[in-house]
Amino acid sequence: MQSESSVRIPVLDPATGAEVASIADANRADVDKAVAAAREAFERGAWAKMVPAEREALIWRLADLIDKHADELAELESIDNGKTKKMAGIVDVPGARNHFRYMAGWATKIEGSTIDISVGAPAGGRVNAFTRREPIGVVAQIIPWNFPLVMAAWKLGPALAAGCTCVLKPAEQTPLTALRLGELIMEAGFPAGVVNILTGYGETVGAALVTHPGVDKIAFTGSTLVGKMINKAATDSLKRVSLELGGKSPVVVLPDADLDTVIRGAAGAIFFNAGQVCAAGSRLYVHRKLFDRVVEGVGAAAQSIRLGPGLDPGTQMGPLVSREQQERVMGYIQSGRSEGASIVAGGEAPSHPGYYVQPTVIADVKGSMRVVQEEIFGPVVVAQRFDDLDEVARLANDTPYGLSASIWSNDLTAVHRLVPKIKAGTVWVNTHGPVDANMPFGGFKQSGLGREHGRVGIEMYTELKSVCMFV
């Protein structure tokens, strides 16, 4: 459907700052139309009459179309977000395709259970009791700008497999792959109204979706601050809410760890996607025995990274997504300097066009500093020493966040002692960052509510109904 709004939002190429497209700034009438279309499709349309195997086939067909248009989608993602086309082609596009394929299989495997209960039946009768999992209804899904295509797949895949209908709002900075995905959804043959895509600002379109009476569930990925606002706004109607929020993830290096492996791993944990990753390894805790060598190595890795436009095959790290994000990250670096931290590597924004920030390593930090406590969401890591497991567990947990962590060691006894002490939804060992469609992902504390992926990710889009039948 055509937008009711005549207002346009410019879409900028982060590598140059130039406008490459414009999108509709949706208004309240657009939100009402999208929700009404989703409600009609859920309750009365062809989607409501489909058996699970038909949903599975449609989702799989969408994954095939992503594969067919992989190069185009990788290029769009690079232009829109700033990440390298090479990385988008290796990580983002296959990740979205694989997620849809995995979730497609769940459409035919959602099940309830039979229950033996103690309630007595009338004389000569019996009781049958069982549970059903039913789709929750119309889902509003609000996704961030760091992995636009992957995040759309993470949200749409399980909702569609469960039988829900969706209103998807991409970030206003990065709408292009979501809009192209919408075209592929139509090409795949999904009935009208099953997936509706609205572009616009979070404070208008997002807020209208969160409070809309026709929306049954909100699924949000983004900052903890906005997640709290959404959770509060949804309480009046008791909408179901799932939130995947911020992180300040520790990378813990024990004294027996292999230096070369740790240096490569720690650098990758923070500089992948220019640090614009909720699970980025942004706090580096290294045993005193290895500290100087690890920090020196990660600093050298930072200095070797080639910055440039994402479409340049020689680029290793692209720009940040926007001028606003560049200024935010540089503000944190300046805050660290002013509080007495030392810049080991990087710390500057190149003067040429584009929203670039040098990969940055900061040492001589204290736990109370903003660069240690707050999510920077850029290529900035802070490093601290520790002496024993109890100390590093305390340091690792000393933030409001609890999304993820990694431990680097071959001492399995130490690893098994440390894993339960770290308050995080995912703990990786001798790696940082792998996420799989079959492995639950989400956070402790202020890093979110609920889990995505796997069986639990599907169940987030269902309601559990108990049935008790006297026969």
**Torsion sign across C-alpha atoms 185, 187, 188, 193:** positive
Q: How far is CA 127 from the centre of its chain?
A: 45
148-162 vs 176-188: helix axis angle to the nearest 10?
A: 40
Q: Given a cut of 90, is residue 252 above it in pLDDT?
A: yes
- Per-residue pLDDT band for 23 (boundaries 50, 70, 90) equals very high
Q: Which helix (H) or strand (E) holds 128?
A: strand 127-135
Among candidate residues 16, 72, 11, the one with its CA nearest the CA of residue 318: 16
- Tell me the pLDDT of the chain averaged across its residues: 96
Q: Given a cut of 70, is residue 323 above it in pLDDT?
A: yes
- Per-residue pLDDT band for 145 (boundaries 50, 70, 90) equals very high
Q: Where are the alpha helices (DSSP H) in 166-255?
A: 176-188, 207-211, 224-233
What pLDDT was estimated at residue 5? 73
CA distance 152 to 77: 12
When computed from its CA atoms, the radius of gyration of the chain, rounded to whole angstroms, is: 23
CA distance 348 to 371: 15
Mean pLDDT (whole number) for 208-226: 97
**Do residues 282 and 252 touch, judged by C-beta distance below 8 A?**
no
Torsion angle in degrees (nearest 10) through CA of 88, 92, 94, 96 = -150
**Do residues 174 and 321 touch, judged by C-beta distance below 8 A?**
yes
Structure token digits, residue 213: 């009476």
Mean pLDDT (whole number) for 212-220: 98
Q: Which helix (H) or strand (E) holds 49?
A: helix 46-49
Cβ neighbours for 351, distance < 8 A, ≥ 6 positions apart: none
**Do residues 170 and 250 touch, judged by C-beta distance below 8 A?**
no
Among candidate residues 249, 338, 322, the one with its CA nearest the CA of residue 82: 322
Mean pLDDT (whole number) for 45-72: 97
Query: Which phi and psi angles does 111 have, rounded to 5°?
Result: -145, 160
pLDDT in tens, 146-199: 999 999 999 999 999 999 999 999 999 999 999 999 999 999 999 999 999 999
**Do residues 341 and 365 touch, judged by C-beta distance below 8 A?**
yes
In one-letter notation, the amino acid at residue 81 is N
Start-to-end CA span in the chain (Å): 49
Edge-to-edge strands, sheet with 404-408: 342-345, 360-363, 380-386, 283-287, 250-253, 404-408, 426-429
pLDDT in tens, 297-309: 999 999 999 999 9
pLDDT in tens, 422-439: 999 999 999 999 999 999
Q: Given a cut of 80, is residue 2 above it in pLDDT?
A: no
Count CB neighbours of 340 within 10 A: 10
Strand partners, 445: 401
- As a residue count, the chain comes to 471
CA distance 140 to 216: 8
Mean pLDDT (whole number) for 373-394: 98
Q: Given a cut of 70, is residue 359 above it in pLDDT?
A: yes
Q: Given a cut of 90, is residue 73 above it in pLDDT?
A: yes
Which 8-state DSSP code applies to residue 342?
A: E
Looking up tokens 């990758």, which residue turns up?
268
What pLDDT was estimated at residue 124? 67
Q: How far is CA 44 from the centre of its chain?
A: 32
Q: Given a cut of 80, is residue 417 above it in pLDDT?
A: yes
Count CB neighbours of 130 within 10 A: 13
Outline where DSSP puts E strands in 152-287.
165-169, 195-197, 217-221, 240-244, 250-253, 283-287
pLDDT in tens, 256-280: 999 999 999 999 999 999 999 999 9
176-188 vs 70-81: helix axis angle to the nearest 10?
A: 150
Q: What is the pTM of this model?
A: 0.96
What pLDDT was estimated at residue 470? 87
CA distances for 369 relative to 108, 325, 336, 345, 364, angstroms: 50, 20, 7, 19, 11
Q: CA angle, corner 142, sides to 85 and 192, nearest 5?
A: 90
Q: Given a cut of 80, is residue 120 above it in pLDDT?
A: no
What pLDDT was estimated at residue 447? 98
Annotated active-site positions, please? 244, 278
Percent of the chain's residues with pLDDT above 90 = 94
Q: Which helix (H) or strand (E) holds 218?
A: strand 217-221
